[in-house]
Amino acid sequence: MAQSAAKTPTTPPTPLLPPASSLVIKQVDQTQYGKVFQKWAAELLWNPSVDDPAVLPLADPSGFFVAYLARRLLPESVLLPDEHGDDASEEVPVACISAVRHDAHNGFIGFYIVRNDKLRGAGYGIRLFRAAMEYLGADRNAGLDGVVAQQGNYARSGFGRVWDTWRFTLTLDAVGTAAAADPAVPAGLQAARVALDGVASIDGKSTVATVSSGTGAVISLAAVSAFIEQHSGFARREAFVAAWLSAAAIESTALVDAASGQIVAFGSIRKAITGYRIGPVFAADAAAAAHVVGALVAVVRRREKLPSASPNPQLPLHQETKVFADVCMSNKSAREVFARAGFSDANAFVCGRMFTKGNPLPDAAIGRVFAVMTLEVG
């Protein structure tokens, strides 16, 4: 008896997706940030800060966009587990993006995500991207931090790379450089406590404590905002800086000139979903930056109750905490500062900072950028 021919396996047909013209693009408020931007960033292992929902939307409260499709338009086979529901008319969020108008001349794109792999390639992302760029306006210099794989696409949209950031990692689990004593305050400088202007009570809710043992100088919100602008190339909204300085999961430290009271260095550390993220670190020179980095690492040791050295140098500590920093690689001193503090660039996550009209930061200031403030809103 003749053997029957083997059946050739068939590939399931690709589900027919609704056209990009079916998208409904909405500006969303701060209440939606945690449900979409924070959640999706965490799913992609971008490791957002736990206080981001209270802080980052204030960079531009009108600049956060979500693209929706009616559930009835989407085949059941492409829906994610949390996208199913009984109401066919309910809208499903499929993509998000932020477009922050920092000032009249500069803006920043971030959180460009099409969450569901099965919905990529349908034109949803590019339609949302164009809406975000339209919101920024053609006159603004638009910036973003692009992963290596997407930089070619951004270049075709008019973006040019001005520098790279590498995500350095410090593992606080053993003695060595990671457990070395904090760098001394450079001569002529003093550690400063950052206070908010116009706040009657400067307790822990309205003031970011530093790891300095003394009270140090008190510097105003206006002074911090101006210093950040000088090292970013664009202004930040005062409400954003105030929220940054008052968030429970963010601690900041600064160095000021003892004679003039002018800020010489400023840095922050944020509690993240995994470990901590350092940024920014802006400083006049490597010595000031080294002190700030050491002070911020000490924040982690204090919060996590990690000793500064293992009781037995031959044994690692049982507790392990990671600290990350997005280091500006165009600053030749930055890599050395973080390496001396015990950070490694092995398997670094690399992004390129890109702008449509060139770097708004003068070349002379790049040497004072050791770690960027955020990859999400610039």
Q: Is the pLDDT of residue 367 over 80?
A: yes
Evaluated on CA atoms 215, 218, 219, 220, the torsion sign reads positive
pLDDT for res 206: 33
Prediction pTM value:
0.86
Nearest to 119 by CA among 93, 149, 145: 93
**Averaged pLDDT, 97-117:** 97
Q: Which of 59-68, 127-136, 169-178, 347-356 has the lowest mean pLDDT?
A: 169-178
pLDDT for res 185: 85
| Residues 6 or more apart whose Cβ sits within 8 Å of residue 376 | 41, 48, 52, 56, 98, 110, 111
The helix (run of H) or strand (run of E) holding residue 129 is helix 124-136
The helix (run of H) or strand (run of E) holding residue 221 is helix 221-232
pLDDT for res 188: 87
Other C-beta atoms lying within 10 Å of the C-beta of residue 53: 18
Cβ 342 vs Cβ 298: under 8 Å: no
Model confidence at 101, pLDDT cuts 50, 70, 90, reads very high
d(CA 326, CA 164): 9
d(CA 178, CA 271): 18
Nearest to 93 by CA among 48, 33, 144: 33
Cβ 80 vs Cβ 92: under 8 Å: no
State what percent of residues in the chain have pLDDT above 70: 82
pLDDT for res 181: 53
| Residues 6 or more apart whose Cβ sits within 8 Å of residue 159 | 142, 144, 146, 151, 354, 355, 356
Q: Which of 110-124, 212-226, 255-269, 289-303 has the lowest mean pLDDT?
A: 212-226
Model confidence at 87, pLDDT cuts 50, 70, 90, reads confident
pLDDT for res 219: 78
Other C-beta atoms lying within 10 Å of the C-beta of residue 85: 11
